[in-house]
A and B are shown apart, each in its own frame.
Chain A
Amino acid sequence: MRLLEATALQIKQKILSKQIRASELIGQVFNRIKTVDPTIQSFLSLNEDNALKVAKEIDRKIENNEKVGLLAGIPVAIKDNLCTKGLSTTCASQILKNFVPPYDAFVVKRLKEEDAIIIGKTNLDEFAMGSSTENSSYQITRNPWNVACVPGGSSGGSAAAVAANITPMSLGSDTGGSVRQPAALCGIVGVKPTYGRVSRYGLIAFGSSLDQVGTMTKDVMDATLLLQVIAGKDPKDSTSVQEPVPDYLQGIENNINGLRIGIPKEYFTEGMHTDVHKALKDALCIYEKLGAKIIEVSLPHTEYAVAVYYIVANAEASSNLSRYDGVRYGFRSTNAKGVIDMYCRTRAKGFGNEVKRRIMLGNYALSSGYYDAYYLKASRVRNLIKKDFDATFERVDCIVGPTSPVPAFKIGERASNPLEMYLSDIYTIPANLAGIPGISIPCGFSKDGLPVGLQILARHFDEKKMLHVAYAFERETDYHLKRAVV
């Protein structure tokens, strides 16, 4: 196996045992970027000089037998909506074209503390609003398994960079499935932690009651390692929780005999691609073989999740994105007649259509006379969705289903109808509304050779169980070992 096809844990082993130097590895990473990224287009900006400098420092530490961090020498790509000090952070928007943050996001700081090497910033749907990464105002990222297809989104750049064997790890963010869905479409592992498990400090806000930073890796072990690093309380995010972070590795190899897996009947309805359905059925057979009990459950309010989400997320977005006014940072339109005109021209020119649509929808739902009918109504139904999960988790240990109803679709195929694109998040959105953790793992391929993802949902703060269940499947299968050829 080529070095860049290896997992982070395998690479770390090679670095610690001095089989390879971090600086050589980073050299290979940037060579790979120069070879494949003109096709894949996963990166918006690179951190080459600084990455080499950091790698040399890690080499020096290892040479001198000094203590190194948990991610010593591991390259990590960062979604471009996470603030990186001194490194451009655009959210794939024209309005932040020239924005260079003066501080690091909490998760970025944690990576640096553990000696990870930040290689660059990855493409996304503008402000993470989308499911295909086609809404980036800079470039269209391609799926490494088939470059005519989208990588999913909004963390499409981070997913494609891992699947294209550029980096073993990347960070994304998940507001309605933006880590799990691209992970599924690119054949990798994506984790959305429980709301509050990971600090949102420095994650550029979209829907503040839904956003979580998530991990994107080649396998479950790497996800475990990366989550261990980024999880925990941060005083700078008052919604991050005190709840202790368990050792996710401890017990991960235990068998799952007797585990109760819930299969929501609402997740197996029309609209699911036959190849996805088949992969799912095969996956459930594997779980049964491993001794798990498969139990049919019901999440009766599933069909309302997308409607609730597009009110709640966009109401929050309309407020969060009011900060882009051309005053303190970012783009400003010139020749304005007064300050209000400057705001209106700046935002008209700086935002793309999807962002404008969502800001307007959010403001409409919050505006006088409509607040009760839309925002308040949606918040009540949101509670019903959470109660569905609470009741179900009384009976089962985890919930398993598809991550996305379809494998990767063709670039342009869904771009003209926003509502149709929204509906592709039907299986991932409920976890964000309820605040529970979810993971997507590779569970097969379509007839056209495109990856299919299996989603596992668990109780609040039970990432440990979720990773355990995911690892049990991974150990029995080899889907996670397949690599895209670019």
Chain B
Amino acid sequence: MKISDNDIRYVAHLSRISLTENEEALFVHQLSDILSYIEKLNKLNTENVEPLVYTTNAFNVFREDVLEKSISIDDAQSCAPSIMGVFFKVPKVIE
């Protein structure tokens, strides 16, 4: 399947990745190739096949609602690019 320049821009936006024009051209080409390959799945009739997500018998895991120790605020902030007090600091969110 051939995807368009617009598709790439849209999916780059969804992915929160800014691309240069050269990168757009490269990825249009490579993703089209990969998607064409993936189209082989359409040869199979899967109408009556359940989708499989987890291969083990997954079930809900509960525990007693008891407070457990977690990492300290200092540890949690130790690798942050920018902090202010107990918060992570980010650029302006609302214009």
Q: List residues of A whose CB falls within 8 A of some B CB.
A: 98-100, 102-103, 194-196, 209, 235, 238-239, 241, 301, 303-304, 306-308, 310-311, 318, 322, 325-332, 336-345, 347-348, 351, 353, 356-357, 359-361, 363-364, 367, 374, 376-384, 386, 418-419, 422, 433-436, 460
Contacts and interface: CB of A to CB of B under 8 A. Distances in A.
Interface in B5-52: 7-8, 10-12, 14-19, 23, 26-27, 30-31, 33-35, 37-38, 40-42, 44, 46, 49-52
Given A379-B53, A418-B30, A338 B92 contact: yes
Contacts of B85: none
Contacts of B54: 195, 209, 239, 435
A340 B90 contact: no
Contacts, number: 165
A310 B38 contact: yes
B90 to A, nearest CB: 5
23 contacts: A102-B76, A241-B56, A304-B40, A304-B44, A306-B37, A307-B37, A307-B40, A307-B41, A311-B38, A327-B80, A328-B76, A332-B81, A336-B91, A343-B16, A348-B19, A353-B23, A356-B15, A376-B51, A380-B52, A383-B49, A383-B51, A434-B55, A436-B55
Contacts of B81: 326-327, 329-332
A307 B38 contact: yes
Given A342-B90, A360-B8, A360-B31, A435 B15 contact: no
Contacts of A301: 44
A379 B51 contact: yes
Contacts of B65: none
Nearest to B55: A435
A374 to B, nearest CB: 7
Given A337-B91, A367-B11, 8 more contacts: A307-B37, A307-B40, A336-B91, A353-B23, A356-B19, A364-B3, A379-B51, A435-B55
Given A336-B91, A434-B55, A383 B17 contact: no
Contacts of B49: 380-381, 383-384
Contacts of B82: 332
Nearest to B59: A238
Given A99-B79, A304-B40, A327 B90 contact: yes
B84 interface: no
A383 B88 CA distance: 42
